[in-house]
């Protein structure tokens, strides 16, 4: 049975990560025996650079890689088992996603550059929002455990050899936006299966759409893929 490596990049120092961040506090409260941590503290690099470094460090190991934001309150005591179950069904999993891709999508749940939300029939997954339990809001996008084309990058997981054997890496042209859509498209090109999986958590951030960094990343994404 492979071990699980949780990879998190945070601007906190190590002490503050475990004491103040939602993800760090969750791990402190409930850490599985087969879980390893790779935390990039005081980080100023883009997420793809950190995630790729963790992947390279995993060469020669047998492990499921979980790439997560630092603002996730993990409510599922058995989340490591959920990861294992999900990766028995799919090559790359996340909590929420879209069953289709359409031209000029500006996010996994959108259908155009104006950030028009896609209809429920195409969406999948459940995510809580807020900074505590119970969450302030629960987004039920659609039934989970579904094959999808695109995944939300708040949490992504895959076996380390799935990435390396298929030469799938996070594109370091992106920093904090669109790296998730990009890696899903790479996976699709290699014939890998993406899917959603049920894991109970609360996400403290709703995303920073329309910021200058977001707009630049969107332009980079469209330039790379052509739609």
Give pLDDT, residue 208.
Answer: 62
* Rounded mean pLDDT, 194-221: 89
Is this prediction's pTM over 0.75? yes
* Rounded mean pLDDT, 88-109: 97
- With 70 as the cut, is the pLDDT of residue 210 above it? no
In this structure, the dihedral spanned by the alpha carbons of residues 79, 156, 9 and 101, taken in order and rounded to 10 degrees, is -150
- How many domains are contained in the chain? 1
* Rounded mean pLDDT, 196-204: 97
| Per-residue burial over 108-123, b = 16 or more CB atoms within 10 Å of its CB, e = otherwise | bbbbeeeeeebeeebb
Range of the domain at 72: 3-225
Q: What CATH number corresponds to the domain at position 61?
A: 3.90.550.10
In this structure, the dihedral spanned by the alpha carbons of residues 50, 23, 96 and 89, taken in order and rounded to 10 degrees, is 80
Give pLDDT, residue 32.
Answer: 78
Q: Following DSSP, what letter does each residue of 54-97 receive, concatenated?
A: HHHHTTT--EEEEEE-S-EEE--TTHHHHHHHHHTT-SEEESEE
**Higher confidence at residue 212 or residue 66?**
66
């Amino acid at each position: 049975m492979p071990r699980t490596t949780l990879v998190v990049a945070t601007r906190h120092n190590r002490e503050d990560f475990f004491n103040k961040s939602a993800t760090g506090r969750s791990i402190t409260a409930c850490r599985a025996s087969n879980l390893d941590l790779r935390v990039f503290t005081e980080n100023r690099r883009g997420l793809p650079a950190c995630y790729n470094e963790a992947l390279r460090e995993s060469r020669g190991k047998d492990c499921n890689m979980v790439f997560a934001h630092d603002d996730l309150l993990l409510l599922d005591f058995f989340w490591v088992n959920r990861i294992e179950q999900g990766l028995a069904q799919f090559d790359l999993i996340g909590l929420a996603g879209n069953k289709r891709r359409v031209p000029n999508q500006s996010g996994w749940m959108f259908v155009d550059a104006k950030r028009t939300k896609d209809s429920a029939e195409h969406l999948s997954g459940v995510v809580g929002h807020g900074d505590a339990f119970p969450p302030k809001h629960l987004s039920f996008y659609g039934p989970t455990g579904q094959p999808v084309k695109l995944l939300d990058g708040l949490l992504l997981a895959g076996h380390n050899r799935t990435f390396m054997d298929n030469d799938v890496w996070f594109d370091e042209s992106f920093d904090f936006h669109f790296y998730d859509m990009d890696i899903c498209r790479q996976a699709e090109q290699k014939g890998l299966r993406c899917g959603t999986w049920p894991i109970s958590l609360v996400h403290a951030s709703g995303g920073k759409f329309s910021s200058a960094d977001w707009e630049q990343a969107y332009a980079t994404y469209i330039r790379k893929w052509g739609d």
